[in-house]
């Protein structure tokens, strides 16, 4: 216990938290386990099992194939819900289906095909999530184009000035994450979109670590293209289908390469030739996984009730508490905050640097019963999720981490790489 | 009732059916509804709701992100189950993830990239399922190649002789369905694979209407590439993830275009550059939908218990009963069998031709309480599923269809296109 940062202050923050009651909307079987990895896999909403059971027994079991008259629109319907709740997009601009990687591939490929002739370079952040770079690497290799990975600060991400300087006349597409998966560093989408537009190019945003954590305003920031996952702060479940966003005015000009029947105009006419749907449906491909889609409804209900602005405010305060307690308790043990300290420059998670971060994350989980995660090369990532993480959870987690640090408890832990998403 | 084809004979067939007890393994709430559309969406296995509830509450709810140490292999694990139960493939040759259309895209693209230089044509069946043609159209257009759609008989499919004649030195890839989605016409995979190999090319098989209905022997037939869906005769649920198969010896030579982190060697090292896994994992892309994957386990349990050979035998007899009763009862009303009559040349479903097939399928569903489906241009498709369809179900369905035919009950029915998958 520390006199400067007593636990009761965290309890007071919880007592005054307008979102505190929402923790009960989640399934929490083990109150002693502190879960700070909602940015890998969000918790199970309490309403989800019964909702899925209904879709399974009634929709599938009773109604059988006849349910397709309803299911057929779910990619769009849930996309519209997500647009209104979390993305600041208009109706008909968002669809949910496939994985984030597949959606990235579709939109990046479409954007490259539509890029001005002669532009041969795709700009990415060297420190972005691997799959984002891999997908773009495949696309640029296949086209004989160049993938330029901008060096980026591991703690603070890309600086807008550096990014602007890199936007030369050869750039066909820029791929960026709104919130960096490792540090949580946040890019100002409006500023970047404007700079890209002035440079005659377009940005494809990966919103995986932003959606449900910070207010995203795709319309207001002039965003053209975005993708993101729904199993982190949206609590859609493991491998829940991802979303894609294409600004309405662009849709008719873009064609994605995977020409499946769910992207076909008037799909059930079964016409001989592919003719892409006139709207966002053209970015769909095959039959979407309905059970996985269904889990998004109860998840979005909770977010709707909270409101993203309140989620954001609490998220910032949870993050600041992690930083405060790191400074007070962990700096003497070789930890360093590896995320922007200014909450306006950071998403919902905070990373701590320590040379033994991998083994510390293991010890923290097994001995401390705190689930965070390790990120290469030497980061312990802590992702409080404002919908269900209490201030006292953060306090307790940091207290347990301090205990591990004081005992150097990681020295007995193996260091094979971990396998979390 | 007909004296020549009395109902009690169908009851006798059920009494002697070694698979009859398996109907209880499925959720059947409404015994009066006759479901002959298991080839669009298979029924809900009775064990699935509880199994999914366990995965949701325990796997997701309790264990949270830590479940990924198990889930990470599910695409492969369930692929191996499927390989052994239904595909005659070896371990490490099948993976389950993404939709059939996305899998088609990946494997077709990989095959075209590996095709001998100078071969510029992809051969498809003009009467194959639309999404198959659409996907290949996209791939050939992007490469400046030609898509050649072979005319095919609506009732009997492609003839092996015609196919062989079309296999000239310009063919880079052949895409075929083992069982035609409309007529059920079956192609002999071994014969076609051999002909393709002799012509220096390769066949990519769509097994969507074959898997779980007929014994597929990918190894024994010398198949190189295949994809297929799991929500028809496999009963995996609406939009269940699809499978892909790549013959082991080919895997290292093929690269698919969607380079996601689930296809990466040593995925969690998060290396800077994409380096495809040395095995079937390289055909994976993003995070698979775990809840949808989970539904395949109880579904495959039932198929395991039945054995595909017994499923096939019963499927042939159910089909023969449809044909017999069509001949006896429906021919005078303008119906004609639009599928191969020889059960060895047909999958599990049977199509009937009638100029009013669309409206008849509607009347049959609403007035007759028989769910089959309409397929363009004028086919009523009836898909008994041997795991849960009884002979008496077929008899009753045909009896109700006869009643509709006698009353010309479809004349009051609207004819907007139907929307089933």
* Chain A: residue whose CA lies nearest to B48: A56
- CATH for A153: 3.40.640.10
Structural domain count, chain A: 2
Q: Are residues A90 and A27 in the same domain?
A: no
Same domain for A174 and A101 = yes
A231 is catalytic: yes
**A60 lies in a domain?**
no
Query: Do B199 and B323 belong together in one domain?
Result: no
Q: What is the pLDDT averaged over residues B82-111?
A: 98
Contact present, A391 and A14 (Cβ < 8 Å): yes
Of A43, A282, A375, A381, catalytic: A381
Residue A273 is classified by DSSP as S
Name the residue facing A241 among B43, B105, B289 (closest C-beta). B289
Task: State which of A304, A330, A361 marks the end of a domain.
Answer: A304
Same domain, B328 and B294: no
Q: Most B CBs within 10 Å: which of A38, A101, A122, A272, as the mutation test of the B interface?
A: A101
Residue B275 lies in a domain: yes
pLDDT (tens digit, 0 to 9) for every residue of chain A, 421 residues total?
Answer: 446 899 999 999 999 999 999 999 999 989 899 999 999 999 999 999 999 999 999 999 999 999 999 999 999 999 999 999 999 999 999 999 999 999 999 999 999 999 999 999 999 999 999 899 999 999 999 999 999 999 999 999 998 889 999 999 999 999 999 999 999 999 999 999 999 999 999 999 999 999 999 999 999 999 999 999 999 999 999 999 999 999 999 999 999 999 999 999 998 888 889 999 999 999 999 999 999 999 999 999 999 999 999 999 999 999 999 999 999 999 999 999 999 999 999 999 999 999 999 999 999 999 999 999 999 999 999 999 999 999 999 999 999 999 999 999 999 887 665 544 4
Is the pLDDT at B375 greater than 70, yes or no? yes
- How is residue A283 written in tokens? 């970015």
In terms of domains, do A144 and A249 share one? yes
pLDDT at residue number A420: 47
Q: Mark which of A277, A304, A331 sits at the end of a domain.
A: A304
Please tell me whether residues A383 and A286 are part of one structural domain: no
How many CB atoms lie under 10 A from the CB of residue A144? 7
Domain-ending residue, one of B272, B304, B336:
B304
Min Cα separation B220/chain A (Å): 30
With an 8 Å Cβ cutoff, is A205 touching chain B? no
Asked if A174 and A196 touch (Cβ cutoff 8 Å), the reply is: yes
Residue B153 annotated among the catalytic residues of the structure: no
A402: left (phi over 0), alpha (psi -120 to 50) or beta: alpha
Task: Report the pLDDT value the prediction gives residue B160, as an integer from 0 to 100.
Answer: 85
Q: What tokens does A130 get?
A: 């691997």
Q: Which residues constitute the domain of residue A273?
A: 72-304
Is B170 within the bounds of a domain? yes
- Report d(CA A348, CA B189) in Å as an integer: 54
- Does the annotation list B361 as a binding residue? no
A103 backbone dihedrals φ, ψ, rounded to 5°: -65, -40
pLDDT at A421: 42
Cβ–Cβ below 8 Å for A238 and B43: no
| Distance between first and last Cα of chain B | 33
Is A94 a domain residue? Answer: yes
Please report whether residue B59 resides in a domain: no
Q: Which of B105, B129, B233, B283 is flagged as catalytic?
A: B129
Q: Is B274 a catalytic residue?
A: no
Q: Does B300 touch chain A (CB under 8 A)?
A: no
Cα dist. A39→A371, B65, B73, B271 in Å? Answer: 11, 10, 21, 21
Q: For residues B42 and B73, what is the distance between their CA atoms, to the nearest angstrom?
A: 25
Evaluate if residue B329 carries a pLDDT over 90: yes
Domain for residue B128, yes or no? yes
Closest chain B C-alpha to A314 CA, distance in angstroms: 22
| B381 is a catalytic site residue | yes
pLDDT given for residue A270 in this prediction: 82
**Pair B297, B317 in one domain:** no
Which chain B residue lies closest to A270 (C-alpha atoms)?
B130
Instruction: Determine the average pLDDT of the residues in B38-50.
Output: 97
Q: Read off the CATH number of the domain in which B34 is found.
A: 3.90.1150.10
A101 and A24 within one domain: no
Q: A315 and A278, same structural domain? A: no
Q: What is the ipTM of this complex?
A: 0.96
Quote the pLDDT of residue B323.
98
Q: Are residues A117 and A195 in the same domain?
A: yes
β-pairing verdict for A225-228 and A203-206: parallel
Contacts of A41 in chain B (CB under 8 A): 60, 64-65, 68
Nearest-angstrom CA–CA distance, B80 and B76:
6
B209 to A49, A186, A337, B75, B394: CA distances (angstroms): 31, 48, 56, 21, 19
Contact residues for B58 (Cβ-Cβ < 8 A; gap 6+): none
Chain A interface includes B105 (CB < 8 A): yes
B362 found inside a domain: yes
Q: Between β-strands B350-353 and A336-337, what pairing exists: parallel, antiparallel or unpaired?
A: unpaired
> What are the residues whose beta carbons fall under 8 Å from the beta carbon of B175, sequence distance 6 or more?
B104, B108, B122, B123, B124, B125, B128, B132, B136, B203, B204, B206
Cα nearest neighbour of A36 on chain B: B65
Give the pLDDT band of residue B3 (cuts 50, 70, 90). Answer: low
* Inside any domain, residue A330: yes
C-alpha B400 chain-centroid distance? 27
pLDDT for residue B1: 47
Asked whether the beta carbons of residue B68 and residue A238 sit closer than 8 angstroms, the reply is yes
B35 annotated active-site: no
Whether residue A290 is found in the same domain as residue A201: yes
Q: Domain check: are A311 and A300 in the same one? A: no
- By three-state DSSP, how is residue A264 classified? strand
């Amino acid at each position: 216990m520390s006199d400067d940062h007593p636990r009761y202050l965290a309890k007071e923050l919880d007592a005054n938290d307008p979102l505190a009651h929402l923790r009960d909307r989640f399934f929490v079987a083990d109150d002693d386990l502190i879960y700070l990895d909602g940015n890998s896999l969000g918790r199970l909403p309490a309403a989800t099992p019964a909702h899925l059971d209904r879709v399974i027994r009634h929709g599938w079991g009773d109604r059988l194939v006849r349910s397709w008259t309803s299911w057929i629109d779910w990619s769009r319907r849930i996309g519209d819900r997500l647009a209104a709740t979390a993305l600041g997009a208009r109706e008909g601009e968002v669809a949910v289906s496939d994985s984030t990687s597949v959606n990235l591939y579709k939109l990046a490929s479409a954007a490259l095909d539509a890029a001005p002739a002669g532009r041969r370079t795709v700009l990415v952040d060297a420190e972005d999530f691997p799959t984002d770079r891999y997908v773009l690497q495949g696309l640029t290799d296949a086209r004989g184009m160049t993938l330029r990975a901008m060096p980026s600060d591991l703690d603070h991400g890309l600086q807008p000035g550096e990014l602007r300087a890199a936007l030369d006349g050869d750039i066909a597409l820029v791929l960026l994450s709104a919130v960096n998966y490792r540090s949580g560093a946040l890019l100002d989408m409006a500023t970047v979109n404007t700079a890209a537009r002035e440079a005659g190019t377009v940005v494809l945003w990966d919103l995986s670590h932003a959606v449900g954590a910070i207010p995203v305003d795709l319309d207001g920031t002039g965003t053209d293209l975005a993708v993101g996952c729904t199993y982190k702060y949206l609590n859609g479940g493991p491998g829940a289908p991802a979303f894609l966003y294409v600004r309405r005015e662009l849709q008719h000009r873009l064609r994605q390469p995977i020409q499946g029947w769910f992207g076909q105009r008037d799909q059930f006419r079964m016409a001989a030739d592919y003719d892409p749907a006139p709207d966002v449906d053209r970015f769909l491909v095959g039959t979407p996984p309905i059970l996985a889609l269904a889990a998004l409804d109860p998840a979005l209900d909770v977010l709707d009730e909270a409101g993203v602005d309140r989620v954001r405010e609490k998220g910032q305060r949870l993050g600041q508490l992690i930083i405060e307690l790191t400074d007070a308790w962990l700096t003497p043990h070789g930890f360093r905050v590896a995320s922007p300290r200014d909450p306006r420059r950071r998403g919902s998670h905070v990373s701590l640097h320590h040379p033994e971060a991998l083994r510390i994350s293991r010890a923290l989980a097994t001995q401390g019963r705190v689930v965070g995660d390790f990120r290469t090369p030497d980061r312990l990532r802590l992702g409080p999720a404002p919908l269900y993480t209490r201030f006292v959870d953060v306090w307790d987690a940091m207290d347990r981490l301090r205990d591990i640090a004081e005992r150097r408890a990681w020295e007995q832990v193996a260091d094979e790489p971990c396998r979390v998403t």
